[in-house]
A = this chain, B = another copy of it.
């Protein structure tokens, strides 16, 4: 499939995955740096191909087939990031830039070779889960609020589900960001608060925050 189509489908997938409810052509357009008109055209074309459902003025929704394509590209992207990070010690920014190009020119065969070589990793260097060859993500992230505190388990921040500026300021101040390691030390049942450690700092978070900070367990 063409690079344009793969990127289009991937953009919708990423949007949906970040719980943005209605993904309209305009959103995808600005994400991909194309005009809304081009995005509408593409949406119609991909509807005809059975990759998504398009109805005038409505949100775009990937079909199973479209999601599978997106997951295949995402898998390749994250495998490349993992490989480049491990082998060449490139920065997170650099690996992303290169993976963005390589992902479209990688055969399923090569992706499997990379995965094997790395021991079938479940996460990329950002902490994002790597789908398997069938497009399944076995490891689902959960909000901190739902985790049972266990001394020795470490987690990687996967999502900060908020649009509140102050929340992000708080996160920045405390090193709570995408890809960083944290440990959940104690759940206070009555007050619904959670004690975590991050960068050897201990913080207590109330429910407002623990419900919107998502993490992945480290394999």
Contacts and interface: CB of A to CB of B under 8 A. Distances in A.
Given A105-B104, A105-B105, A110 B87 contact: no
Interface string A91-132: 000100110011011110110011011000000000000000
A105 B6 CA distance: 15
A88 interface: yes
Nearest to A107: B98
A90 B105 CA distance: 17
A87 B102 CA distance: 17
Contact of A102 (B88, B105, B117): B105
B90 A113 contact: yes
Which applies to chain A's interface (DSSP): helix, strand, loop or mixed?
A: helix
Contacts of A109: 94, 98
Interface in A58-102: 84, 87-88, 90, 94, 97-98, 101-102
A99 to B, nearest CB: 10
A86 to B, nearest CB: 11
Contacts of A113: 84, 88, 90
A101 B105 contact: yes
Interface of A: 84, 87-88, 90, 94, 97-98, 101-102, 104-107, 109-110, 113-114, 116-117
Given A101-B107, A102-B102, 19 more contacts: A84-B110, A84-B113, A87-B117, A88-B110, A88-B113, A88-B114, A88-B116, A88-B117, A90-B113, A97-B107, A98-B107, A98-B109, A98-B110, A101-B105, A101-B106, A102-B105, A102-B106, A104-B105, A105-B105
16 contacts: A84-B110, A84-B113, A87-B117, A88-B110, A88-B114, A94-B109, A98-B106, A98-B107, A98-B109, A98-B110, A101-B107, A102-B102, A102-B105, A102-B106, A104-B105, A105-B105
